[in-house]
Amino acid sequence: MDGRAFWQRLALPILLVGGLGLMAWSAPLKACTFCGDTLRSRATWRQQMAQAAWVFYGTLANPRYDPMREQGTTEFRVQEVLKGEAAVLPPGQLLLPVYLPVIGNATPREYVVLGQRRGQNWEVTGGFPANAATVEYLKKLLRLPAEDVTGRCAFFLQYLDHPEAAVALDAFVELGRTSDADLYRAALQGAFTPQRLRQLLQSSQLPDERRGVLAFLLGLCGEVPGDAEFLYHQWRRRTMTSPPVSTENTPAFMPSSGDSNAALSGLLTGLILLDPPLGWRQAEETLRATDSSFRQRWAVVETLRFLQSFRPPPLPTETDAKKRESAGVRRDHRRDILRCCQLLIQQGDLADQTIEDLRRWGWWDLTAEILAHFEHPTHQAPIVRRAIVRYALTAPGPQAREFIERLRQREPELVRSVEQFLRQWEPADNGSRR
């Protein structure tokens, strides 16, 4: 049972030696693009401890349960104070108003409890299971400078394959919750080493949800051709129906039908950042192949969205600028993105997403092709037709205007409903660009 489950079991506010209260903490909004939503919303131990005035490490004992009230208590015996006021004598024991049966391995005996002290009262704000390895990690976390993003990234990279699964997960969540721009800066300042990233990516024990972030990092700090070839084999083995024969440079894992979108898009993005011609060729081949799965093609869509929006932050030195260019991190992938969008527009199951992306970006290069697909048999789903009409209502120029005028004569209700939708949901400063 993890720490979140521990505290979710509390039906009443926590009561500790006469004090009561429960404090929630908020998480930062920015996170790495290639980290799944579940991990983005997970609070890290460092965040939790930052919100607590006191952090205790100790053991659970003497759980008691009252079946009449369906409530219970468990003693928490403090062994060590990881964080707290030096001049204040901490308690030796706290009484948790929750029943946590310490039976074998069902409930970990060792815990970390987070709390506040208000006058003579102690209030709990959170807690999670923790053993000696976890405590050692927590002590180092507490000493990390808050403003040193590069140092933090380098620190967490060391723990991504820690034997203690909870420690490895927390270290990854810390990286996953770091913004793309901060990861970019940290990569250029030497926080990540290609050899270490390749080692992690080759591990058969690496959870798939973590693969995309690591591949993106390798794309930021790796070298050509070695690391580009490595990511190429990673991508091919996960997208080919019949994977290539294993070689010295080929990763050890086999294709999986359960690869996450974030993992596949992170691999493709990392490859494009390292070797743009090779990476974009893989993207186009995936979209052209008749046997590409929806998941694989959707990974290309997510890659396009990232590369269209990602703007590498300014680099402070000429040395950094040269390193950026050697890694293939470019500011403008427009032509390559448009070529992939042209292929996606032809696919009825992804056309609406692509057309809407182009509309939001204000990219009108493919207007003629988009409008031409309005009558195509594969594009007759209402969601696709409405996407084309939205695009035409927003796009500048006579071609889009004439399309709407003709359609208004044939299907006035369709045009009216889409216009109403745009008026209702589009921001005031994002109206028609005509």
DSSP-assigned beta bridge partners for residue 95: 75
Alpha-carbon gap, residue 374 to 12, rounded angstroms = 58
pTM over 0.75: yes
- At CB < 8 A and 24+ separation, what contacts does 147-153 make? 149/178, 149/182, 149/185, 149/186, 150/185, 150/186, 150/189, 150/190, 150/191, 151/191, 152/178, 153/178, 153/182, 153/183, 153/186, 153/191, 153/192
> What pLDDT score was predicted for residue 15?
34
Q: Write b or e for each residue in 98-126: b if 16 or more Cβ atoms lie within 10 A of its Cβ, otherwise e.
A: bbbebeeeebbeebbbbbbbeeeebbbbb
**Residue 211 and residue 44: Cα distance in Å, rounded?**
19
Q: Residue 30's closest CA among 187, 154, 180?
A: 180
d(CA 147, CA 377): 56
Predicted local distance difference test score (pLDDT) of residue 37: 56
Domain residue ranges in the chain: 3-138, 179-345, 361-434
Closest CA to 239 of 311, 295, 175: 295
Task: Convert 238-269 into a string of H (helix), E (strand) and C (coil).
Answer: HHCCCCCCCCCCCCCCCCCCCCCHHHHHHHHH
What is the pLDDT, as a whole number, of residue 6?
A: 37
pLDDT of residue 306: 93
Res 174: pLDDT: 93
pLDDT at position 321? 46
Q: What is the DSSP string of 190-205?
A: TSS-HHHHHHHHH-TT
pLDDT per residue of the chain (434 residues) written in tens, 0 to 9: 343 333 333 322 333 333 323 233 333 346 567 765 556 667 899 999 999 999 999 998 888 888 877 788 888 899 999 999 887 888 888 887 778 787 665 567 899 998 888 877 787 777 888 999 999 999 999 999 988 999 999 999 999 999 999 999 999 999 988 998 899 999 989 999 999 999 999 998 888 888 999 999 999 999 989 999 999 999 998 887 544 444 444 444 334 444 578 899 999 999 999 999 999 999 999 999 999 999 999 999 999 999 999 887 765 654 454 444 444 555 579 999 999 999 999 999 999 999 999 999 999 999 999 999 999 999 999 999 999 999 999 999 999 999 999 999 999 999 999 999 999 887 655 544 44
Q: Does residue 61 sit in helix, strand or coil? A: strand
Q: Which residue has the tokens 């006035």?
A: 412
The two tokens of residue 378 are: 């594969």
Per-residue pLDDT at 74: 84
Classify 106 in phi/psi space as left (phi over 0), alpha (psi -120 to 50) or beta.
Answer: alpha
CA distance 176 to 169: 10
CATH for 3-138, options being 2.60.120, 2.40.128, 3.40.91, 2.40.50: 2.40.50
